[in-house]
Amino acid sequence: MKRDRDDDSLAFRPKQIYEQVADQIRVGIAGGIYRAGSRLPSERDLSQRLKVSRPAVREAIGALQNEGMVVTRQGSGTYVAERASEVPRAARDDRGEADFSPNSTLEVRLLIEPAVARLAARRGKRDLLAESYLQRMAAVKDITDPQQQQLWKESDRLFHRQLAAMTEDALIVKIADEIADSMNQPLWNRLRDDGIYDPERIQLYFAEHRLIYEAIISGDENSAAFYVEGHLKRVQRDIATRE
Q: Report the sign of the C-alpha dihedral through residues 205, 208, 214, 215, in that order.
A: negative
CB atoms within 10 A of CB 3: 8
| Whether 214 contacts 240, CB under 8 Å | no
Q: For residues 35 and 32, give the distance between their C-alpha atoms in angstroms, rounded to a whole number.
A: 5
- DSSP H or E stretch at residue 214: helix 199-217
Q: What is the pLDDT of residues 109-131, one digit of tens each?
A: 999 999 999 999 999 999 999 99
Q: For residues 23 and 57, give the distance between their C-alpha atoms in angstroms, rounded to a whole number.
A: 11
**Domains along the chain?**
16-93 (1.10.10.10), 102-240 (1.20.120.530)
Round the average pLDDT of the chain to a whole number and report it.
89
Q: Can you give the pLDDT at residue 214?
A: 98
Residue (of 141, 186, 188) closest to 160 by Cα position: 188
Q: What is the pLDDT of residues 129-174, one digit of tens each?
A: 999 999 999 999 888 888 998 999 999 999 999 999 999 999 999 9
DSSP-derived letter for residue 79 is E
73 three-state secondary structure:
strand
> Is the pLDDT reported for residue 5 higher than 80?
no
Q: For residues 185 and 188, give the distance between their C-alpha atoms in angstroms, rounded to a whole number.
A: 6
15 three-state secondary structure:
coil
